[in-house]
């Protein structure tokens, strides 16, 4: 098959964080890890195009993926693969968007990343094969990726035995054993010390290491973020009061405080009476401006980001975090205050 391989700007050889804003590009050659991947695939399959984008640009411009897939189709590509992204959140999210766009365009697709990458939760129905945690595992990760590519190219469905880390699509089948037999087998496995035996794996939640303390707050720009459904009066962008599918941003220019006649909370998980009486209880703009005027912080970012943390899925929350981080990084923000309800 003719294959397009997606990588980020680092593995495309463009540069590191300083080039994270690189716009989408297609090259008619193998690049970076694609060279070894092509060697592993042999003559049966050919990587005819490498598609790439800067991590920050990809996080802030989700439409990049459809653009790259369309360019790949113009090259006669029959399969789109992405990664390995390891545990890099922005890279993983970009891979998720690329393989999703490929599937929407009718192309088979496959991504490679670590099971804890937030990009895994953004992919539905498209196989994700495991990689290691970091690029130090590149060789082994590419070996596993190449075998998975061959199977997908051959029309086979990947399973956990192939290293698949996301759910296999549910399909009806006749079980080899009755429910009673399976229940007894699970019970015996547990009694035998197997704490992992299950027919319904539970979701795993991230353990996030706190960032290092700020050395010199007087020299940094601080951003205000909130999951309190904090919006201008009237909710102009229709942010959901629960199960938020998006986040929005609003300017703080000209505002020294969050006035009741200008801001409100649309959060559906608590009574907003007291929050709407004094919106600074949700977004501490008044205190932040005081710190700014006193020189306790170098400055306040001119926008705040908001979503609603009421029933929002873990996958969406991960995505919001990746997108917020990329946006704030591009704006040279060094610290953020995230208020929760």
What secondary structure letter does DSSP report for 150?
H
Q: Which residues contact 238 (CB under 8 A, 6 or more apart)?
A: none
Strand partners, 222: 300, 335
Distance CA 156, CA 152 (A): 5
- Cα–Cα distance, 328 to 332 (Å, whole number): 6
Residues 341 and 274: their CA atoms lie apart, in Å, by 12
Each residue of 35-85: pLDDT tens digit? Answer: 999 999 999 999 999 999 999 999 989 999 999 999 999 999 999 999 999
Quote the pLDDT of residue 202. 72
| C-alpha closest to that of 303 among 244, 230, 239, 241 | 230
Token pair, residue 14, equals 């463009």
Between the CA of residue 97 and those of 55, 62, 65, 104, 234, what are the distances in Å? 12, 7, 6, 10, 32
pLDDT score of 275 more than 90: yes
Complete edge-to-edge strand list for the sheet that includes strand 221-226: 248-251, 299-306, 221-226, 335-339
| Tokens 């496995």 found at | 189
Residue 240 has pLDDT above 90, yes or no: yes
Q: Which of 125-129, 173-177, 304-308 has the lowest mean pLDDT?
A: 173-177
- Kindly report, residue by residue over 81-107, the tens digit of the pLDDT: 999 999 999 999 999 999 999 999 999
State residue 235's pLDDT score: 97
**pTM metric for this prediction:** 0.68
Q: What is the DSSP letter of 167?
A: P
The CATH code of domain 2-162 reads 3.40.50
User: Whose structure tokens read 């705040």?
Assistant: 304
Query: How confident is the model at residue 203, as a pLDDT?
Result: 66
Instruction: Kindly list the domain boundaries of the chain, sorted by start residue.
Output: 2-162, 217-339
């Amino acid at each position: 098959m003719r294959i397009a391989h997606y990588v980020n700007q680092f593995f495309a050889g463009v540069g590191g964080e300083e080039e994270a804003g690189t716009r989408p590009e297609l090259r008619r050659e193998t690049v970076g890890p694609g060279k070894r991947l092509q060697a592993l695939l042999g003559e049966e399959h050919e990587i005819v195009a490498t598609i790439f984008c800067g991590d920050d640009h990809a996080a802030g411009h989700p439409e990049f993926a459809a653009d790259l897939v369309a360019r790949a189709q113009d090259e006669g590509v029959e399969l789109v693969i992405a990664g390995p992204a390891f545990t890099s959140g922005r890279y993983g999210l970009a891979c998720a968007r690329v393989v999703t766009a490929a599937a929407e365009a009718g192309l088979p697709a496959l991504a490679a990343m670590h099971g804890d990458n937030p990009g895994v939760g953004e992919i539905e129905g498209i196989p994700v094969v495991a990689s290691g945690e970091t690029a130090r595992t590149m060789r082994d990760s590419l070996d596993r990726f190449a075998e998975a590519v061959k199977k997908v190219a051959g029309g086979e469905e990947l399973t956990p035995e192939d290293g698949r880390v996301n759910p296999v699509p549910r399909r009806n089948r006749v079980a080899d054993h009755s429910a009673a037999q399976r229940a007894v087998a699970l019970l015996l496995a547990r009694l035998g010390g197997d704490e992992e035996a299950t027919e319904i794996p539970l979701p795993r939640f991230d353990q996030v290491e706190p960032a290092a303390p700020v050395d010199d707050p007087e020299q940094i720009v601080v951003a205000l973020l909130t999951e309190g459904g904090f919006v201008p009066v009237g909710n102009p962008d229709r942010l959901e009061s629960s199960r938020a599918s998006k986040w929005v941003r609003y300017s703080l220019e000209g505002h020294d405080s969050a006035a009741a006649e200008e801001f409100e909370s649309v959060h559906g998980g608590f009574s907003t009476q007291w929050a709407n009486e004094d919106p600074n209880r949700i977004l501490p703009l008044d205190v932040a401006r005081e710190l700014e005027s006193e020189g306790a912080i170098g400055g306040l970012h001119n926008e705040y980001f908001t979503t609603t943390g009421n029933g929002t899925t873990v996958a969406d929350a991960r995505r919001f975090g990746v997108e917020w981080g990329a946006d704030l990084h591009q704006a040279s923000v060094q610290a953020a205050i995230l208020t929760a309800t």
